[in-house]
Chain A
Amino acid sequence: MRNVFLITTTLAFGLLINLEAHAGAVDSLQLEYQSQGAGSFSATSGEQMWKRRYLHKKSGKQRSCQTCHGKELTRSGKHARTGKVIEPLAVSANSERLTDIKFMKKWFKRNCKWTIGRECSAQEKGDFLEYLKGL
């Protein structure tokens, strides 16, 4: 009986730490965006922007987040040019996601530029995070 109690506590505690890591990184990043002038964040706006297609003038092709990340975020995606596998973005399928602030910043920068052709605003990035953390 004592053992069961111990295991349960440990498991619960572990889960809490894990959730904490996600919440911690995303929360502080969102706070940072708000300090840069963003308002409250909306998962719906994030989702809409995630799915929108943008015309890339040079190639004449449509680009969207889904081009590489795929339509199903719990599954892996594929780099549009090289075909390299991109691990799932949804936290429920990949616990490493949304835990590393430096990593998130780097890829927001790179991928906004590739997809939209400019860096995303603080509001847009916060909206993306709001959408992604619920997956």
Chain B
Amino acid sequence: MQQKREVLVWDLPTRLFHWLMVLAFSIAWATHDNSRHLDIHTISGYTFLGLLIFRLIWGVVGSHYARFKAFSYSPKEVINYLRALLGSGVKHYVGHNPAGAWAVFLLITVGMLLALSGLIVLGGEEQQGVLAGKITFDQSAPFSLLHEVIAWGMVAVVAVHVTGVIVESVLHRENLIGAMFRGTKWVEGESAKVAPSRLMAAVITVSVMTWGAISFSSYYGTTDEKPYLPFKGPTLAMNELWQDECGACHLAFHPGLLPARSWQRLFNEQQDHFQEELMLDEATVVELLGYAQKNSAEQKKTEAAWKINRSVASEVSPIQITSTAYWKEKHSKIPDETWKREVVQSKANCGACHYDAEQGTFQDAAMRIPR
């Protein structure tokens, strides 16, 4: 029997890629549910995509075991391998085994779809990122669900990949997880020579760190009064009379937060406006209603407008923004205690948390729940 020797199998860039992928995906996963962290989600998403692109290139020009050529197995080979796994005479692979190789291709494919669908949602739903302005809200709608489904698909493939790694580690009495850290394996037979590619690893490290630093640098030195708002919304039409009349008693809610028929109803019922009489003369109503209708939720000028409009049944005309299904769903996780705080006081006080409430843009990351 040949003597076992420790050889380098996974070069440094491949290992860095692997663990940075794990990190980027984990961060994106952890931040996907809270709009407040959309910028972190997006930055990790871009990192994820960048790493994938690097891996595609490295799969052609990288060291022996990192090249796709080295682990392109036919489906038959995978089946044979899995069958042999149950028996005893399983062949030992230095690089990826056929089943693992397929998991890798699947991970790269699903990862690409995940990143691309994310870019589409970002461009459409948020009108941000490289596709901003190129996709409408409605066009991007199906991709939102798709992005989520693909993410779950990614989790499923990761689960298969990790299970495979554990099974093979046990069966072969070989620490495959450790190998992805150290890069080395104990090999009996022949093996290809692998260079560590330290320079490329340094390039990756510096790139990711620079990208991270640039992306988050704007947070430096910000305060609650002067916060950093990562996403800038569209500049919405403003009306001075609207600001004066509505803004005298409460936030001058932007017309985009309710459909046109709701504004019509609100002015029709101005003699009992939340138990107050507005006493607006006809000329004032004409101007205010005209402004409201031109900028109502149906005009889909912001994500909030689009989503509120979508969530209100066409036969109803709510005059309370907080009674719309979208508003309720979006605020369902906020505990009662928060609403009662001195600085919040009322659910109508949007500006207590939303920094851009007055502008009416309600960008995802432009909010903080006050302490």
**Residues in A lying within 8 Å of B, measured CB to CB:** 58, 79, 81-84, 106, 109-110, 113-114
How would you classify the secondary structure of chain A's contact residues: helix, strand, loop or mixed?
A: loop
Interface string of B276-293 (1 = CB under 8 A from A): 111100000000000000
**Residues in B lying within 8 Å of A, measured CB to CB:** 247-251, 274-279, 345-346, 348-349
Q: Which residues of B contact A84 (CB under 8 A)?
A: 247-251
Counted as pairs of residues, one from A and one from B, with CB atoms less than 8 Å apart, the total is 31
Given contacts A82-B346, A82-B348, contact A110 B250 (CB under 8 A): no
Contact A114 B349 (CB under 8 A): no
Q: Which residues of A contact B251 (CB under 8 A)?
A: 82, 84
Q: Which residue of B lies closest to A106 (CB)?
A: B279
Given contacts A82-B250, A82-B348, contact A110 B274 (CB under 8 A): no
Contact B277 A110 (CB under 8 A): yes
Nearest chain A CB to B275 CB, angstrom units? 7
Q: Which residue of B lies closest to A84 (CB)?
A: B250
With A and B bound together, what is the CA distance between A84 and B249 in angstroms? Answer: 6
Beyond contacts A81-B249, A82-B345, A84-B249: 7 other A-B pairs, Cβ-Cβ < 8 A, are A58-B275, A81-B274, A82-B346, A82-B348, A82-B349, A83-B349, A110-B279
Q: Which residues of A contact B278 (CB under 8 A)?
A: 110
Q: Which residue of B lies closest to A83 (CB)?
A: B345
Nearest chain B CB to A54 CB, angstrom units? 15
Contact B276 A110 (CB under 8 A): yes
With A and B bound together, what is the CA distance between A106 and B279 in angstroms? Answer: 8
Q: Can you pick out 16 interface pairs between chain A and chain B where the beta carbons lie within 8 Å of each other? A: A58-B275, A81-B249, A81-B274, A82-B348, A83-B346, A83-B349, A84-B248, A84-B249, A84-B250, A84-B251, A106-B279, A109-B279, A110-B276, A110-B277, A113-B277, A114-B277
Which among A79, A81, A113 has the greatest number of chain B C-beta atoms within 10 A? A81
With A and B bound together, what is the CA distance between A106 and B250 in angstroms? Answer: 17
Q: Which residue of B lies closest to A78 (CB)?
A: B345
Q: Which residue of B lies closest to A79 (CB)?
A: B249
Given contacts A79-B249, A82-B349, A84-B249, contact A114 B279 (CB under 8 A): no
With A and B bound together, what is the CA distance between A20 and B278 in angstroms? Answer: 31
With A and B bound together, what is the CA distance between A58 and B249 in angstroms? Answer: 21
With A and B bound together, what is the CA distance between A47 and B249 in angstroms? Answer: 24
Which among B249, B276, B346 has the greatest number of chain A C-beta atoms within 10 A? B249
